[in-house]
């Protein structure tokens, strides 16, 4: 039996508004100042699951589509913030990693197709309108793309 886990974390919005009135006991001796809201930054850690997809999106209009088929001990992690970023992944390799981070801007696009075992595809894009297209089928391989700025384009293929 294949055991899959999908973790989708949506951004939480916490408003730090002070409570007025005397509903919590105390002497009512005047304002004590605003309290600090709890942290809403998600943390990810690998689990004992067979394979895992983690998606964290913050901002407006971001899109993520992650697919894992028949994989063992593989992880797909997508972290996006900003405006209208898009990430699409397909993973069929065992003991492999796809990591996409798109931040500080918008309209970035990353597409990754990985069918290799014990391989990694790492994409990091910061800025506006960057494009990264990655295909990897060579076992034991690494693809790493980092783009900063505007309208950068990267195509990688390892077979």
pLDDT given for residue 9 in this prediction: 30
Of 75, 99, 69, nearest in space to 87 by CA: 99
Task: Say how far apart CA 72 and CA 82 lie, in whole Å.
Answer: 32
- The two tokens of residue 43 are 């943390």
CA distance 54 to 125: 18
Q: Over its length of 159 residues, how does the chain's per-residue pLDDT go in tens digits? A: 333 333 333 222 222 333 333 333 444 444 555 554 454 444 444 555 589 999 999 999 999 999 999 899 999 999 999 999 999 999 999 999 999 999 999 999 999 999 999 999 999 999 999 999 999 999 999 999 999 999 999 999 999
CA–CA gap between residue 22 and residue 25 (Å, rounded): 6
């Amino acid at each position: 039996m294949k055991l899959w886990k999908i973790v989708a974390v949506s951004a939480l919005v916490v408003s730090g508004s002070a409570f007025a009135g005397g509903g919590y006991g105390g002497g009512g001796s005047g304002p004590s100042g605003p309290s600090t809201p709890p942290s809403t930054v998600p943390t990810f850690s690998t689990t004992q699951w067979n394979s895992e997809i983690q998606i964290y999106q913050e901002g407006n209009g971001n899109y993520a589509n992650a697919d894992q088929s028949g994989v063992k001990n593989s992880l797909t992690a997508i972290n996006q913030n900003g405006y209208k970023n898009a990430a699409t992944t397909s993973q069929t390799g065992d003991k492999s990693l796809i990591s996409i981070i798109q931040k500080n801007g918008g309209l970035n696009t990353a597409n990754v197709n990985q069918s290799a075992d014990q391989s990694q595809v790492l994409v990091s894009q910061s800025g506006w309108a960057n494009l990264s297209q990655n295909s990897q089928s060579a076992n034991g391989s690494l693809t790493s793309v980092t783009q900063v700025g505007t309208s950068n384009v990267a195509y990688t293929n390892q077979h």
